[in-house]
Chains A and B, each alone.
Chain A
Amino acid sequence: MAGRVGRRLGLAGALLALAVAATPAAAQDKPRYGGELIFAVPSEMPSYDGHREGTFGMVHPLAPHYNTLLRSDPNDRSGTKIVPDLAESWTASSDGRVYTLKLRRGVRFHDGSEMTSKDVKASYDKIVFPPPNVGSQRKGQYTNVEAIEAPDAATIVFRLKWPQASFLTSLASPYNWIYKADILAKDIRWYETNVMGTGPFLFVEHVKGSHWVGKKNPGYWDKGKPYLDGYRAIFMKDSASQVAAVRAERAHIQFRGFAPAERDTLVGALGKKITVQESPWDCAAWVAINQDKKPFDDKRVRRAMTLALDRYQASQALSKIAVVKEVAGVQVPGTPYATPPNELEKLAGYWRDIKKSRAEAKRLLKEAGVPEGFAFTFMNRGLPMPYEPVGIWLIDQWRQVGLNATMQTIEASQHVTELRNGNFTVSSDAQCGYSVEPDLDLAKFQSRDISHSNYGRYTDRVLDDLYQKQSRTLDPEERKRYVREFERRLLDEEAHTFITLQWHRIVPYNAKVRGWTVTPSHYLNQQLDAIWLAE
């Protein structure tokens, strides 16, 4: 880092450390009532139905209108601690196949009617067993649900066909909003164009392409909350505009996250007026390798491709210019099933000695009969951050073991189609989870007949078996072992596909905003019930 920029970045770094240090103290202040939270949203929802859609552009503006059965603890940075929301308590049978949840009483919908188990059952029936004309995006996550029962107004029971370690996390899914049964009975698609929940904020207006407004729900069941009078979500596609908005104090925050340079600009311009929270992101920059294409059917070639990458150097360099940072395995660092560093260093491509690693890569390529200067096309998703910098880095790394890749950038919408149809040799790929949970993060890497997003197009029954074992094992330690085994087979032994770096979530925001904790997923912790604005 040379000259002026170096100093500037250094200064920004120092301020950043200050800002981060200031956060915990600030969180202990007594909450203040009032004010309108203004946040930018980089995407906009197609419809209002959480069961149907997938974008965070729907979660951020709409989550404050609703509650879920359970939720991830709003103060837990790992996003993996499950706490009550509409369900007050729960019990699981010893075989892990029956979950019984007690519902909170006295919870009212925004229309004044009372929420009962009937509403929960209707909502979950819509998610798990949708009628023919209704789309349910994450239905596949609930294939083991046999029946949902409502024995009395305050009890809901889920009967499972087989045990699933992640079931409680599934009930805390940030999408599984509880809708009103009577409305669903009349028109099951009503929620695609209307809002009516039990959440801390009431719906005011939505101007397409422009903004979304919510105001305080005075009858909210959690007494004393929410603190805000209301909120206003502004749809802003361009990240430079979002940064400008926070900088000019026209918006308090953009929850999804900014690039490192944008953080430094904000901290440099506003100093202590900006708080920064960072977290490893439950998204990783993967590389998909089409095993239908030669010579990529040869695992020596694939191993060489991952061995060529100096992830530790990249972590330092790329984290200054892109939203990637952590060197990680298949789970977010800092969460229960993450790979410990000493185990990680044993995996191909994670060795500390890059010279040795690249020598091994060259040896493997030679052994596989891949000539020096072998050329292929790397298909990259047409989104600047972080795909473009990671792509530039990858091509540079591969060059160093004699692989000559050219980048072909494809419009983001088309990229999915090309991946699915296998019209590529090597491509960027992303795996983003809405909850940190091996079941969710690993599912796509199962064999092609099981996973529709297995872009490597391989079939590996050992891997499928390991997936199932880890998913159905209720003992956490045993489950960890299966996850590690799955990981070793996926990334090292077979090198079906590999991770470059974990994404890194950086949220610099106006220091007036209090009571919000960053988590590894930008889908979590968006109910805004605990957020307040300082003077």
Chain B
Amino acid sequence: MIKYIVKRLLLMVPTLLGVAVLIFFLMRVVPGDIVELRFMGDSAFASKDNLDKERARLGLDRPLWQQFVTWMTGIIRFDFGTSMWTGAPIIEEIKLRAALSFQLAVMATFIAVVLAIPLGVVAALKQDTWVDYAVRIFSIAGLATPSFWLGIVFILMLLIVFKWLPPMVYTPFWVDPWQNMLQLIWPALAVGYRYSAVATRMTRSAMLEVLREDYIRTARAKGLWQKLILSRHALKNAMLPVLTVVALEFAFLMGGLVVTEQVFNLNGLGMLFVESVARRDYTLTQALVMLVAFVFIFVNFAVDLMYAWLDPRIRFR
């Protein structure tokens, strides 16, 4: 097991390195220039030497490879540098936003799982009946509704019907749980619905596979509930693909909720992403990409470990 873990950890390194190279050069290929943006181009008074001065200050006048080496040596020491736009340490820029994104991801996951597992199991047990159809329509509708659209509808409904709006500013959960929940429950519901759709479908198909196992089929005569009870051990295995989907979706939520954050005015990583790219803030964008990639890779690793633990054959593959 230890050997397997070490091997998997080592495999992360080339992937992360690849991501680093890709984002570093991608950002520099994208046209646009942070210095020009800052000293806004529309004004005739933006002088050239002002721009050059700022470029030199940000180190953008140095050869690319030097910039890359500086960045990489920083990362090795867990020093992500400062944001080119605000000049503040990157850790500081990300900290608060990451807390919000993380909490939202956890809440959405919770909602999704609570909805998905019972619905998926029931749909599988009652395959091809109206129950199954209803669950499938409900879950496919979740996939088919753009979550930003759902968000706009939520907000308009709260405004028009209840003349009320969720709090505008993020309060950490430990400071004021009530305010915190009032703000985040709505986006969590909007995101959680789509997310639950993905998970419900996976639960259903995984359950169908389990129900197909011979020992369960022979128990068919004994009635539905016994079937369910019989399948309980197997359910553990059926949950593995569900877990995978949930985990990967979770990793995605950590940086991918751009439109939802915009609609609900949330100060999360998704909007920070879009803004840092729009400003051509290389250092911040790079750090964010590395963070999101790391979360993704780590979640994968965790899921794999779980598989390996449950199914020893995998380790020897």
Contact = CB atoms under 8 A, between A and B. Distances in A.
Direct contact of A and B (CB under 8 A): yes
Interface of A: 46-47, 53-55, 132-141, 192-193, 207-211, 234-238, 240-241, 244-245, 247-248, 250-251, 411-414, 416-420, 429-432, 443-444, 446, 450-454
Interface stretch (B16-24, B32-40, B204-212, B228-236): B32-40
A209 B86 contact: no
B263 A238 contact: yes
B169 A412 contact: no
A453 B152 contact: no
Contacts of A414: 30-32
Given A46-B38, A47-B86, 15 more contacts: A135-B54, A140-B46, A209-B271, A210-B169, A210-B267, A237-B265, A241-B264, A245-B168, A247-B159, A413-B32, A414-B31, A416-B37, A417-B36, A419-B41, A452-B46
Given A209-B271, A244-B155, A452-B47, A432 B42 contact: yes
B69 interface: no
B308 to A, nearest CB: 40
A234 B50 contact: no
A209 B272 contact: yes
Interface stretch (B89-97, B133-141, B239-247, B298-306): B89-97
Contacts of A192: 87
B3 interface: no
B77 interface: no
Interface in B179-224: none
- Of the candidates A134, A245, A416, the one having the most CB atoms from chain B within 10 angstroms of its own CB is A416
Nearest to A245: B168
A230 B31 CA distance: 42
B165 A54 contact: no
Contacts, number: 145
B102 interface: no
13 contacts: A135-B53, A135-B54, A192-B87, A207-B169, A209-B97, A210-B96, A210-B169, A238-B262, A241-B263, A245-B265, A413-B37, A452-B47, A453-B43
Given A135-B50, A413-B278, A417-B33, A452 B168 contact: no
A139 B262 CA distance: 36
A412 B279 CA distance: 10
Contacts of A133: 53, 57
B44 interface: yes
B32 A451 contact: no
Nearest to A189: B87
Interface in B102-156: 152, 155
Contact of A248 (B47, B164, B267): B164
B267 A209 contact: yes
Nearest to A430: B42
A413 B44 contact: no
A84 B41 CA distance: 31
Contacts of B280: 413
Nearest to B167: A250
Contacts of B47: 139-140, 452
A136 B50 contact: yes
Contacts of A446: 44
B313 interface: no
B163 interface: yes
A141 B45 contact: yes
A208 B86 contact: yes
B85 A418 contact: no
A176 to B, nearest CB: 13
Given A241-B265, A413-B37, A250 B44 contact: no
Contacts of A238: 262-263, 265
Interface residues of B, number: 50
Given A209-B271, A244-B165, A453-B41, A137 B92 contact: no
Nearest to A418: B31
B43 A210 contact: no
A411 B168 contact: no
Nearest to B279: A413
B163 A248 contact: yes
B32 A411 contact: yes
B92 A193 contact: no
A244 B159 contact: yes
Contacts of B31: 414, 417-418
The 8 A-B residue pairs whose C-beta atoms are closest, nearest first, are A140-B45, A248-B165, A241-B265, A443-B44, A416-B41, A444-B44, A209-B267, A451-B44
B317 interface: no
A248 B37 contact: no
A431 B48 CA distance: 19
A47 B281 CA distance: 14
A241 B264 CA distance: 7
B282 interface: no
Contact of B45 (A46, A132, A139, A416): A139
A207 B46 contact: no
A245 B183 CA distance: 13
Contacts of A236: 168, 265
Contact of B46 (A132, A134, A235, A453): A453
B88 interface: yes
A443 B45 CA distance: 8
B152 A240 contact: yes
Interface in B61-90: 85-88
B250 interface: no
Nearest to A265: B159
A100 B9 CA distance: 70
Contacts of B167: 250
A432 B46 CA distance: 14
A140 B43 CA distance: 10
Nearest to A234: B168
Contacts of A245: 165, 168, 265
A137 B50 contact: yes
Nearest to B171: A210
Given A132-B53, A193-B87, A236-B265, A208 B44 contact: no
- Of the candidates A137, A251, A452, A454, the one having the most CB atoms from chain B within 10 angstroms of its own CB is A452
A137 B46 contact: yes
Contacts of B163: 248
A247 B37 CA distance: 33
A138 to B, nearest CB: 5
A244 B164 CA distance: 9
Nearest to A142: B45
A208 B159 contact: no
A412 B40 CA distance: 11
A417 B86 CA distance: 21
Nearest to A192: B87
Contacts of A431: 42
A244 B155 CA distance: 8
Contacts of A139: 45, 47, 50
A416 B44 CA distance: 13
Contacts of A235: 267
A245 B262 CA distance: 14
A247 B162 CA distance: 12
B57 A420 contact: no
Contacts of B159: 244, 247-248
Contacts of A443: 43-45
A135 B44 CA distance: 16
A135 B53 CA distance: 7
A149 B267 CA distance: 46
A386 B33 CA distance: 24
A251 B40 CA distance: 29
A55 B37 CA distance: 10
A58 to B, nearest CB: 11
